[in-house]
Amino acid sequence: MHARTALVFSALALSFACGREEAAPGRPTDGGTADAQGHSAPTRFTEEANAAVARALPLEDPQDFEDARRGLVASEEVLVAGPGERGRPIWDTAEYAFVTGDAPASVNPSLWRQAKLNGIHGLFEVVEGVYQVRGFDISNLTLIRGATGWIAVDPLTSRETAAAALAFARRHLGDAPIVALILTHSHADHFGGVAAILPEDPAARAALRIIAPHGFTEEATRENVLAGVAMGRRAAYMYGIPLARSPRGHVDTGLGKAPAIGTLGFVEPTDLVDRTPQEMTIDGVPFVFQFAPSSEAPAELTFYLPDKKAFCSAELATHTLHNLYTLRGAKVRDALLWSGYLDDAITRFGDAEVAFASHHWPVFGNERSLAHLAKHRDAYKYLHDQTLRLANGGATPREIAEELEFPASLAGYFAVRGYYGTIRHNAKAVYQNYFGWYDANPANLDPLPPVEEATRYVDAMGGAAEVLRRAREAYDRGEYRWVATLVNHVVFADPKNRDARALLADAYDQLGYQAEAGPWRDVYLSGAHELRHGITARPPSAAAATEVLRHLPADAFFEAMASRLNGPKADGKSLRLNFTFTDLGENWVLSLDDSVLHARQRDADPNAAATVRLTRDFLVKVATQQAGLREMLFSDDLAVEGSRLELLSFFSLLDSPDGLFPIVTP
């Protein structure tokens, strides 16, 4: 089926993003030696900018390091999980062994500090009976001791890392069974490893309680399915997938080391949280749940353990300012709701003695725990309120992003600094949430497309040679943002201009080296990498998401198919097809009119050009490229009644993007 790649989730791009490139030959640049991937040496201006950050922040404050090491039960020098698709480990902390000592000039020292904290891994006791396995993935596996076994919380991104984390915990805590599972929200790094957690015994699996927020299944299986190809490509930039793990490459995401690229699983919840407060007793342990939809995820919960005075904030309060808009692309998140949930938690769970989360390390003590939640509450409220204040005064998104800064009381608190989300792109998200993409300036209502605009700009500025001359002068003054603006026009006007590509890559290097946010660094350096080496990524594989896709509603498959219909090619065509799922007892009628594809669940249309009889599992095989068009038309698992020619003609109208489109070139 040509629509199969439509079913690649970008939220699950964590699991099937491109493999990292082998080291490429270096070249001299900027008066220094390039690294193995060609990244230039940090300039004097970058060194000075990063030195200024080091002077401005109390980077030697030991509190976070003390909290991150507190309760250590066991650790190993190197954590390895896998192997993966090409025989290499899914997870190997040895890749980050270089993150030690003082920050090199090529890394923002604040991000370097965060990377060192995220490198502290092992099994930790949070409070009596509550443990976390940290550093086996971008997220944490939490284990809560119940009367008969373990209550597991958020089983990481992949089966491989979750299996390694659980095995490590059991070596030190014993082999008690998993009797319940809590999934705090609908992002893949909090449910993807579930296959390693589920009991092997069918009876035990059937008895397992699985608690998740209302809307979890729909959001976890459908999130970004329609836009998954583009989001997956963007996610490779956001997480620095093509980059070497090195002082001039990927260092840390800010939220954790990196997503684990492995095999995804999925499981349907047995119990839903849909209100606040919602009390449950799980294997003898009292819980109070808070329902927090449309915050960090569309479906999210937090919980409180009253007997232990421990609050799990999921991802509402970690040790970074989070994303109101994620650079991989997604719907913006509601800062006001997010802040409100935290305010409610402070009031409702005010006797908490520890605050822990699905990422990072806990905060201990009642006063510090509540202050930690309050700083996050105030950070999101400040972003919301001040963005609207400036917007109502006529400021545009870019002007707001340039002007807005946290007050000293927030800026000085490491846990709300921009390691993952940033003030600049979050302010734009607040603006977008209320006003959309248009900033009200008529010049921005219908601008020229990028290539035509770039060509005309370069011509108006006297040609490529003159633009590059000016850009080199700006580079020598350390004006890297302006260099990027200028030279991006040259590259889009003439992508074969090697001098322009080299200069733009050098500017991106410096911007990446200065970035405090892990994703900003990875985006800049990934752009530099592709300018030098082209697109080196492998095509994404959807096979890792097979288990998740098995839970995708049939209508979502057809929505994805409709989003791949090539409208101009379909112009003037009219068609009816039946898709009958023999295992579900469902029939769907597809109708093509006006270059638009509709799918409706109803009785079969007797006038349809063809009827396709198949199972959900076979459709999943097609969607994950385990069965192609030939298998679809001639397999014993599928029957076609009517015109196969019309069916083939229909599939020929569906685009099949490979997800490797250019970003830094036209």
What CATH number corresponds to the domain at position 79? 3.60.15.30
Number of domains forming the structure of the chain: 2
Q: List, in sequence order, every residue forming a beta bridge with 558; answer none if it has no partner.
A: none
* pLDDT for 542: 67
Q: pLDDT tens digit string along 103-116? A: 999 999 999 999 99
- Amino acid identity of 611? T
Phi/psi of residue 590, each to 5°? Answer: -100, 130
Residue 657 lies in a domain: no
Q: Which residue has the higher pLDDT, 619 or 509?
A: 509
Residue 83 lies in a domain: yes
Same domain, yes or no: 345 and 198 = yes
CA distance 35 to 512: 15
Instruction: Give a three-class secondary structure readout of 586-602.
Output: EEEEEEEECCEEEEEEC
Phi/psi of residue 506, each to 5°? Answer: -65, -40
CA distance 489 to 528: 15
Q: pLDDT tens digit string along 290-341? A: 999 999 999 999 999 999 999 999 999 999 999 999 999 989 999 999 999 9
CA nearest 302: which of 110, 154, 170, 418?
154
**Nearest-5° Cα angle at 190, 185 to 192:** 125
Token couple for 109: 């020292």
- What is the average pLDDT across 435-459? 97
Residue 373 lies in a domain: yes
Rounding to the nearest 10 degrees, give the CA dihedral for residues 316, 318, 323, 327: -140
Q: pLDDT tens digit string along 488-519? A: 999 999 999 999 999 999 999 999 999 999 99
Residue 443 lies in a domain: no
Phi/psi of residue 245, each to 5°? Answer: -85, 105
622, exposed or middle or buried, with CB in 10 Å at 0-12, 13-18, 19+?
Answer: buried
* pLDDT for 624: 74
Domain that residue 260 falls in? 13-433
**CA distances for 255 relative to 62, 121, 157, 167, 434, angstroms:** 19, 14, 14, 24, 27
CA nearest 110: which of 64, 78, 145, 159?
64
Residue 458 lies in a domain: no
Question: What is the strand order of the sheet 209-213 is part of?
Answer: 72-74, 122-127, 130-134, 141-145, 150-153, 178-182, 209-213, 271-273
Q: What is the pTM of this model?
A: 0.94
- Amino acid identity of 633? L
Residues near 456 by beta carbon (within 8 Å), at least 6 away in sequence: 448
Q: pLDDT tens digit string along 473-485? A: 999 999 999 999 9
DSSP 8-state symbol, 4: G
* pLDDT for 19: 42
Taking each helix axis from N to C end, the angle separating 518-533 and 109-118, rounded to the nearest 10 degrees, works out to 100
CA nearest 374: which of 337, 342, 334?
342
pLDDT for residue 18 is more than 70: no
Q: Name the band, by pLDDT with cuts 50, 70 and 90, for residue 657.
A: confident
Phi/psi of residue 554, each to 5°? Answer: -60, -35
Residues 115 and 95: beta-carbon distance below 8 Å: no
CA nearest 370: which of 351, 384, 387, 389?
351
- What is the average pLDDT across 106-133? 98
Residue 439 lies in a domain: no
Single residue among 433, 467, 488 that ends a domain in this structure: 433
* pLDDT for 633: 63
* pLDDT for 235: 94
Q: What is the SS3 assignment for 642?
A: strand
Q: pLDDT tens digit string along 165-222? A: 999 999 999 999 999 999 999 999 999 999 999 999 999 999 999 999 999 999 988 7
* pLDDT for 30: 40
Q: Name the band, by pLDDT with cuts 50, 70 and 90, for residue 16.
A: very low
- What is the average pLDDT across 281-290? 98
Residue 336 lies in a domain: yes
Single residue among 433, 468, 501 that ends a domain in this structure: 433
CA nearest 358: which of 326, 311, 323?
311
pLDDT for residue 77 is more than 80: yes
- What is the average pLDDT across 384-402? 98
pLDDT for residue 147 is more than 60: yes
pLDDT for residue 17 is more than 60: no
Q: Name the band, by pLDDT with cuts 50, 70 and 90, for residue 636.
A: confident
Residues, the chain: 666
pLDDT for residue 15 is more than 50: no
Rounding to the nearest 10 degrees, give the CA dihedral for residues 197, 236, 223, 280: 30
Q: Name the band, by pLDDT with cuts 50, 70 and 90, for residue 85.
A: low
pLDDT for residue 10 is more than 90: no
Q: List, in sequence order, every residue forming a beta bridge with 180; answer none if it has no partner.
A: 151, 209
Q: List, in sequence order, every residue forming a beta bridge with 612; answer none if it has no partner.
A: 579, 640
CA nearest 376: which of 346, 333, 331?
346
DSSP 8-state symbol, 584: T
Give me the numbers of helices (H) and strands (E) for the chain, helices first please.
24, 23
CA distance 36 to 25: 6
CA distance 103 to 419: 15
Lookup result for tokens 């300018």: 531
- What is the average pLDDT across 434-457? 97
- What is the average pLDDT across 85-92? 82
Query: Using only C-alpha atoms, what is the Rg of the chain?
Result: 26
Q: What percent of the chain has pLDDT over 70?
A: 93
Residue 223 lies in a domain: yes
Q: Name the band, by pLDDT with cuts 50, 70 and 90, for residue 28.
A: very low
Single residue among 384, 413, 433 that ends a domain in this structure: 433
CA distance 504 to 576: 50
* pLDDT for 83: 82
Furthest-apart CA pair in the chain: how many Å? 76
Output the average pLDDT for the chain: 92
CA distance 4 to 7: 6
* pLDDT for 233: 93
DSSP 8-state symbol, 9: -
**CA distances for 625 relative to 121, 289, 556, 559, 652, angstroms:** 37, 40, 17, 18, 17
Q: Where are the alpha helices (DSSP H) in 393-441?
A: 397-403, 408-411, 423-435
CA distance 528 to 508: 6
CA nearest 329: which of 237, 423, 219?
237
Residues 37 and 261: beta-carbon distance below 8 Å: no
Q: What is the SS3 assignment for 325?
A: coil
Backbone φ/ψ region at 659: left (φ over 0), alpha (ψ -120 to 50), beta = left
CA distance 134 to 91: 13
**CATH of residue 620:** 3.30.1050.10
**CA distances for 23 relative to 10, 39, 234, angstroms:** 26, 11, 22
